[in-house]
Amino acid sequence: MDSSVPLGNVLKGEVTPPCSKSYAQRALAAALLAEGRTTLRGIEMCRDTQAAIECIEALGAHVNVIDDDTLTIDGGFAPCADELHAGESGLAARLFTPIAALHDKPITVSGEGTLAHRPMSMIAPPLRALGVEVRDGGGKLPIEVCGPLRGGRVVVDGSLSSQFVTGLLIALPRAEGDSTVIVDGAVSTPYIEMTVSTLERFGVEIMHQCDDYTEFYIEGGQRFTPADYRIECDWSAAAIMMIAGAIAGEVVIRNISMLSKQADTAVCRALERAGASIIVEQDRITVSHRELHAFEFDAKNCPDLFPALVALAAASEGMSTIYGISRLAHKESDRGEVLREEYGKLGIEIELDDEQDAMRIFGGMPSAADVDSHDDHRIAMSLAVTALRTEEPIAIRNAECVAKSYPSFFEDLDSLKTNRKA
């Protein structure tokens, strides 16, 4: 499906983002390992969340849909299939592989689309050190694991992603022995903090030094207790709508809090640096358009913000610099190259500087063109928001990929349009 985004609209209104798929997947994994019934509220069925549900069902959980945003999960780790299909979710693949390794029979973790080409080389060495037999495809999916996962001391390469670290932290409390996990070159530490806080909700303790997410002590043989847990709204989805408000009007984001542990709360700092009007209240944030100017921002710990920040930078006068492009190569697309290519079609120049780990965006008025999402949900949303500034429609190829994280994105964006020229 292609989407044509008409433009020059003014935005005004309120929107509630979907639930955080990062929190949802963590909670689903913990619910699987809990003996008893967990209730998850506020959950929405994006493709990545659906993939995680399929994984926990294959590992023995019974999932019941109560209403549009409520699930119950009857936990109990008892694999009933020899394959876990992670869809296109990198988190699901890296999270559920060590959980599957708790089983003493072979289980294969597979994926589809671009996930089949994303690096998984960080998985095999630590699992083997913990007593797991591993067969992989040269650092790619599919990966076959056969446990049981035992405790021990292990070093994990965290320089590419924290997702496998999350998987280990969730699985190892169920191992027979105690474990020490050392994370080498840790990135995206806010996501690890999310994991630790989610496990606390399920009665599991992960010990680490205060504010240091590079070394963990995990007692084996812990019990996960069922929880009644409301999944908070997704700051990644909120961020793109906040930037839409900064670019084209005034948008109120409901049901979000600056107290969230999600890394993408950092978008507020970027908006302030660009000169947008931002009003933070207890459970809502209002972002309004003002004249925007170039800014600098370090996105190493929040790489999912990059596409949204490029939309902000493209609307800002001057040259903006965003650091952390080394985190972009192995996402749903090679995001640095894709952003440079697709924004170039709109007349917005982007430079990539590998030596400085930086992207430079030269703000300006975009011209109408047909662009391609490269089946990357965050690229599609970034281009759609930039299209708000064009005088002619922009056609976005494969725009349906937004369903990976934000199925109602285009409907929510349309609901904000006043159909008045800016």
What is the full DSSP assignment across 27-51?
HHHHHHHBSSEEEEES----HHHHH
pLDDT, averaged across the chain:
94
Instruction: Give buried/exposed letters for 371-401 (b at 16+ CB in 10 A, else e).
Output: bbbbbbbbbbbbbbbbbbbbeeebbbbbbbb
Rounded to 5 degrees, φ, ψ at 164 are -70, -35
| 142 prior amide bond cis, ω within 30 | yes
Are 135 and 207 in contact by the 8 Å Cβ rule? The answer is: no
What pLDDT is recorded for position 9? 61
For the chain, the domains span: 3-18+232-421, 21-216
Using pLDDT thresholds of 50, 70 and 90, give the confidence band for residue 397: very high
pLDDT surpasses 80 at 304: yes
Mean pLDDT check: name the lowest of 136-145, 194-203, 340-349.
Answer: 136-145
Distance CA 129, CA 306 (A): 35
Given 48, 234, 304, 372, the catalytic residue: 304
Distance CA 360, CA 125 (A): 37
pLDDT surpasses 90 at 212: no
For 24-80, write each residue's pLDDT tens digit.
999 999 999 999 999 999 999 999 999 999 999 999 999 999 998 999 999 999 999
What pLDDT is recorded for position 163? 94
Distance CA 152, CA 220 (A): 10
Instruction: Give the residue, 5 or 113, on which the prediction is more confident.
Output: 113
Helix (H, G, I), strand (E, B) or coil at 333: coil
Distance CA 353, CA 199 (A): 39
Look up residue 410 and give its two tokens. Answer: 């285009």
pLDDT, average across residues 134-160: 93
Distance CA 194, CA 178 (A): 22
Helix (H, G, I), strand (E, B) or coil at 270: helix
**Of 166, 176, 172, 87, the residue nearest 122 (C-alpha):** 166
What pLDDT is recorded for position 177? 96
pLDDT surpasses 70 at 422: no
Are 166 and 192 in contact by the 8 Å Cβ rule? The answer is: yes
Instruction: Give the residue, 5 or 50, on which the prediction is more confident.
Output: 50
Using pLDDT thresholds of 50, 70 and 90, give the confidence band for residue 150: very high
pLDDT, average across residues 372-397: 95
**Of 293, 249, 302, 243, the residue nearest 273 (C-alpha):** 293
Distance CA 379, CA 401 (A): 9
What pLDDT is recorded for position 2? 56
Using pLDDT thresholds of 50, 70 and 90, give the confidence band for residue 188: confident
Asked if 3-18+232-421 and 21-216 have one fold, the answer is yes
Class of domain 21-216: alpha beta
Distance CA 245, CA 248 (A): 5
pLDDT, average across residues 232-249: 97
Q: Is 304 a catalytic residue?
A: yes
Instruction: Give buried/exposed letters for 22-39 (b at 16+ CB in 10 A, else e).
Output: bbbbbbbbbbbbbeeebb
pLDDT surpasses 90 at 164: yes
* Fold classification of 3-18+232-421 (topology level): UDP-n-acetylglucosamine1-carboxyvinyl-transferase; Chain (3.65.10)
What pLDDT is recorded for position 211? 74
